[in-house]
Structure 1
């Protein structure tokens, strides 16, 4: 069920221009220490914005610490990069600090065997509890946040809302009532862009906060094969919401052929009112429609109970220290991570690239210059009305969800059938992982 949209949308030219050192050993990058200096290697993926942010952090840290020098290594993205991380951990050849996913992919690193706990670090008390869950194993915390969170919900055109006198909905019924008024005004109520098939998953995935509000132990039971989408009413509703907007004829006419950037333009131009989406796309909106970015807001996918309204969050990745990092390098690695999660570190990251959402560290505030849609996420974090997306809580992720949600969202398959098909899909994947109960 994993979504990696930034990887899907990375421009080939930028990726090719980034420094690629896919399997370099630590020694090949100058990590032998000069006299009086401890050198720390820092491994990140080679996506252009990731490298840019890492360079900004390292430059600032090195300037402040004459006795420590951090040197950047990069690795490929995707499956090749995953294999490099696992191989280097297994052989004891991992960089002194490395960035990697939080959640289920973090668990696959066998953290208790391969990583150094960070429970005793000074920033731990300032971390958002929802993030801590995604980097904890065996009761110990192994990761610090590497960047900002990302929300899944509804990007909406505030100018359309103002013109029609609409209020941000907190229930699905109110959302659908807004859609009816929007359609009557001649505007497409819900934008979809199924030519980019991954986008079809957003309603289902962003509904997870509502699932968890109704059944808090769903992720645990789902992982243990004790709860399913088709037979858990709250989870089945995630698929039903996708069917609802299609059956009510609330979609843009070209939903089947539109691509993501076309959908974003419909929203920015006020020809579409809502776009179920992840907030990393706000940066694309700002770049492509800078004169309309102030018209775009964001709200969490509404559920059935306004009192439980909240946001499904894609937590930031983590920074980790392998057990192979010891002595002075361990102390220096911890010092670097402490800098990254400090207010200064957060400000540097926000300056290097547009944040996809709030930071998950107390005291790290979003700059006033971020788009309104990103600011709209902050109240959910302030009120702790957030839940990590299911993929951060369970390793069970079926590979064909986006094909299933295209069918449900296009009226080809009913919600109940789609949910049942997805349950079959995850069964195969869980069995491949060797999970008990499957």
Structure 2
């Protein structure tokens, strides 16, 4: 179920940055006779990853002058995933490293390879959704770097204001709003199937609604006991994708438009609503500064307004490999404690505008973040108003969802057929993982 944008979009939203080292490990001595210690830190090579790491190191070092942190970078891609696993298995991993959360975290055998952090005092300050994605056998292994992203709908606030609309809490309200927007001569729903990964949001961003109706769906799905085609709640994401097309609510060039086109339409009021990941907001605002105040966000609505909530993608995390020992381990733990604190969040904000709320209690968003990012916070603050995306609670995902949702959203394939096709698509991967029931 992972949304896998092409490399340009990956750089844009920092989504699932799989990375590999670009240099050898940096020395192994714990500390000198003067009590100083040097540790190494492996990060992604995307510009924002580097900026964030450099700012964290700078601010931490100012408070801890006896600890020196040397950074290494690693490129994005599947190659990076393999090298991270190789370096862990060969004992060649730097003292701290940044990596994914969720199913990809589970794939690096955390119980075997990582230092548990459950005994650290700051663990209680970590967001519960985040902790689930870095926990194995009851032990927490990582601290968050970056903010949450929401699978949601970005909307043009001036259009909503002019037409007297309010953000919908149910799908029926969303379709009613869309009808009024179409009547005003504005494309109600922006779709950008020229970049196929963007077609998945009505399905992937709907998982909060699935979990609200079927709390055990992820567990049953993993065990091959629940299917998209046969679960009424899970099927709705495909049905919504079909319904928007059949109602004529998409922009005319939906088949060829790409992400930058969608952001331009939304920012300039040439389209009203764009189902997409909130991580694209920073790039939109950089290109269209007025979008900071003119574009808002609401969760993909389901059938029950009382259960309205946001599907979230958690940030990546920093981990300590078990090969980090002695004074280096103490220094690494101190570095992670800084990151998981309000001071660590301030450091990350100084490096770049947050892509979403932080996963650490006491970390407030700055007042000047875009309105769409502010709109995410209430969902995370309210009990039960946010849920992890399916990919964080189940390892079962298939490679063809984006092609299938393009077909459903283009009127080529019916929703039920698309869901059944996706159920078949995930089977091979589940079997490769050796999951029971497949």
TM-score range (shorter-chain normalised) is: over 0.9
Structure 1, residues 45-97: CA drift from partner, whole Å, max 9, x if none?
11111011000100111122121111111112111111111011111111111
Report the 3-state secondary structure (helix = DSSP H, G, I; strand = E; otherwise coil) of the residue aligned with 1:368: coil
Partner of 1:386: 386
Count residues with an aligned counterpart. 430
Partner of 1:422: 422
State the Cα distance separating 1:277 from its structure 2 match.
0.6
**What is the CA–CA distance in structure 1 between the aligned matches of 2:280 and 2:241, rounded to whole Å?**
20
Moved more, 188-197 or 324-333: 324-333
Partner of 1:434: 434
**Residue 357 of structure 2 is aligned to residue 353 of structure 1:** no
State the Cα distance separating 1:188 from its structure 2 match.
0.4
**What is the CA–CA distance in structure 1 between the aligned matches of 2:20 and 2:126, rounded to whole Å?**
32
What is the TM-score normalised by the length of structure 2? 0.96
**Residue 25 of structure 2 is aligned to residue 25 of structure 1:** yes
| Contact kept in structure 2, 1:152 and 1:279, CA below 8 Å | yes
Partner of 1:250: 249
**What is the CA–CA distance in structure 1 between the aligned matches of 2:246 and 2:359, rounded to whole Å?**
38
Report the 3-state secondary structure (helix = DSSP H, G, I; strand = E; otherwise coil) of the residue aligned with 2:426: helix
Moved more, 321-330 or 164-173: 321-330
**What is the CA–CA distance in structure 2 between the aligned matches of 1:31 and 1:11, rounded to whole Å?**
35
What is the TM-score normalised by the length of structure 1? 0.96
State the Cα distance separating 1:4 from its structure 2 match.
4.1
Moved more, 36-45 or 201-210: 36-45
Equivalent runs, 1:134-149 vs 2, <5 Å = 134-149=133-148
Partner of 2:105: 106
Q: Cα–Cα, structure 1 residues 85 and 23, in superposed 2: closer, same or farther, change >3 Å?
A: farther
Query: Runs of 5+ in structure 1 lacking a partner?
Result: 13-18
Partner of 1:126: 125
**What is the CA–CA distance in structure 2 between the aligned matches of 1:281 and 1:370, rounded to whole Å?**
13
**What is the CA–CA distance in structure 1 between the aligned matches of 2:168 and 2:47, rounded to whole Å?**
37
**What is the CA–CA distance in structure 1 between the aligned matches of 2:375 and 2:206, rounded to whole Å?**
18
Q: Cα–Cα, structure 1 residues 128 and 6, in superposed 2: closer, same or farther, change >3 Å?
A: farther
Report the 3-state secondary structure (helix = DSSP H, G, I; strand = E; otherwise coil) of the residue aligned with 1:154: strand
| Contact kept in structure 2, 1:22 and 1:84, CA below 8 Å | no
Report the 3-state secondary structure (helix = DSSP H, G, I; strand = E; otherwise coil) of the residue aligned with 1:190: coil
Report the 3-state secondary structure (helix = DSSP H, G, I; strand = E; otherwise coil) of the residue aligned with 1:254: coil
Partner of 2:90: 91
Structure 1 residue runs of 4 or more that deviate by more than 3 Å after TM superposition: 4-8, 30-35
State the Cα distance separating 1:292 from its structure 2 match.
3.5
Query: Runs of 5+ in structure 2 lacking a partner?
Result: 13-18
| Contact kept in structure 1, 2:25 and 2:40, CA below 8 Å | no
Q: Cα–Cα, structure 1 residues 58 and 118, in superposed 2: closer, same or farther, change >3 Å?
A: same
Equivalent runs, 1:29-428 vs 2, <5 Å = 33-35=31-33, 36-384=35-383, 385-428=385-428
| Contact kept in structure 1, 2:36 and 2:67, CA below 8 Å | yes
Q: Cα–Cα, structure 1 residues 193 and 142, in superposed 2: closer, same or farther, change >3 Å?
A: same
State the Cα distance separating 1:373 from its structure 2 match.
0.5
**What is the CA–CA distance in structure 2 between the aligned matches of 1:128 and 1:11, rounded to whole Å?**
25
Q: Cα–Cα, structure 1 residues 297 and 430, in superposed 2: closer, same or farther, change >3 Å?
A: same
Structure 1, residues 376-403: CA drift from partner, whole Å, max 9, x if none?
0000011031101001111111011110
**What is the CA–CA distance in structure 2 between the aligned matches of 1:71 and 1:4, rounded to whole Å?**
30
Q: Cα–Cα, structure 1 residues 31 and 165, in superposed 2: closer, same or farther, change >3 Å?
A: farther
